[in-house]
Copies of this chain bind each other. A is one copy, B any other.
Amino acid sequence: MSSLDPDIAGLLKRDADGLVPAVVQQHDTGEVLMVGWMDDEALHRTLTTGRATYWSRSRSEYWVKGETSGNRQWVRSVRLDCDGDTLLLAVDQEGPACHTGDRTCFDARELPVSQP
């Protein structure tokens, strides 16, 4: 049982695992840093602590971004999309957001696109 505000919980449309993706954006530059996953409890912790907290699908545990690496995310705002199935966090990211050491998780691989 999560402690998430029932009014907020009532807005969420979770996937089969009870999760929603959370897109994380640097608040001032607009860079998309990463995408994490939250269940109700991770969202509750994020909203009440101001520190971005996710559910790890690979390790099946909560993780507070930066708790190990020191690369913390201070949450400026959290928005829910029109369908209630995606979150957008504006954060202030300390250091690199990616575990590879890159600033964002999208820095390394660009795919080729044909222009119409």
Residues of A at the B interface (CB closer than 8 Å) are 8, 11, 16, 21, 23, 25, 29-32, 34-35, 46-51, 74-83, 86, 88, 98-100, 102, 105-116
Closest B residue by C-beta to A80: B109
Whether B79 lies near A116 (C-beta < 8 A) is no
State how many copies of this chain the complex holds: 2
Within the complex, what minimum Cβ distance (angstroms) separates A51 from chain B? 6
Closest B residue by C-beta to A98: B82
Which of B76, B86, B98 is A35 in contact with, Cβ under 8 Å? Answer: B86
Contacts of A88 in B (CB 8 A): 32, 106
Whether A114 lies near B50 (C-beta < 8 A) is yes
Within the complex, what minimum Cβ distance (angstroms) separates A107 from chain B? 8
